[in-house]
Every structure is written in C-alpha cells, then in structure tokens.
Amino acid sequence: MRVKEKSGLRMLLDPSHIGGTRNNVIEVCRMATAYPFDGCLVEMHHAPDQAKTDAKQQLNPSQLRTLLQSIRGNAYNETQNGGAT
C-alpha cells in the first residue's frame, strides 16, 4: 500500500491467482476489504469446471453475486465502524 500512497495510483487485487481455488478466492476477497484496494480482478465463467484456463479459481455467476454482496456489506460495515469489523 506504500506504493499507492506515494504514487496516487489505484491498486487492484488479483485474488484469483493468489487464492488458486474458488474458496480461497472468496476468502482473499473478503479479507482484502480491510485494506484500501480500489478493486478486485475476479475470474468468472458460466461453467467454471469447463473453462479452458484457470478452471479451479473461477467463480460461477451465483458465487460472484454472493461475493459482491458480501464485500459490499463488509465495506459498508467498516465505514460505519471507523474501519473496524
């Protein structure tokens, strides 16, 4: 985050490659809400198990929807609690 502070550049998180599996991608995204990332790059496929690349780390549309709702809720709770969850 020091690079973001010093440069003013936006910082995006790539939880798909950090996590490596769907469950880890979801957990990394949830944990990332504690930091000032400007966004996440999440891989999604309508049938992840049939994806030609990165099948294990891609979310299906329903998982992505649930994740986004969870992240939005965490971000809202953090701003209401002064950054504490």
CB of 13 within 8 A of CB of 39? yes
What CA–CA distance (Å, rounded) separates 38 from 61?
Answer: 22
pLDDT in tens, 16-63: 888 999 999 999 999 999 999 999 999 999 999 999 999 999 999 999
Instruction: Write out the residue range of the structural domain in which residue 26 sits.
Output: 2-80
Domain membership flag for residue 43: yes
The DSSP symbol for 13 reads E
Please give the tally of structural domains in the chain: 1
Q: Tell me phi and psi for residue 8, to 5 degrees.
A: 80, 5
Q: How far is CA 3 from CA 9, 10, 35, 41, in A?
A: 8, 9, 13, 19
Domain membership flag for residue 23: yes
Torsional sign, CA 44, 46, 52, 57:
positive
pLDDT for 76 equals 47
Q: What is the pTM of this model?
A: 0.75
Domain membership flag for residue 75: yes
Domain membership flag for residue 85: no
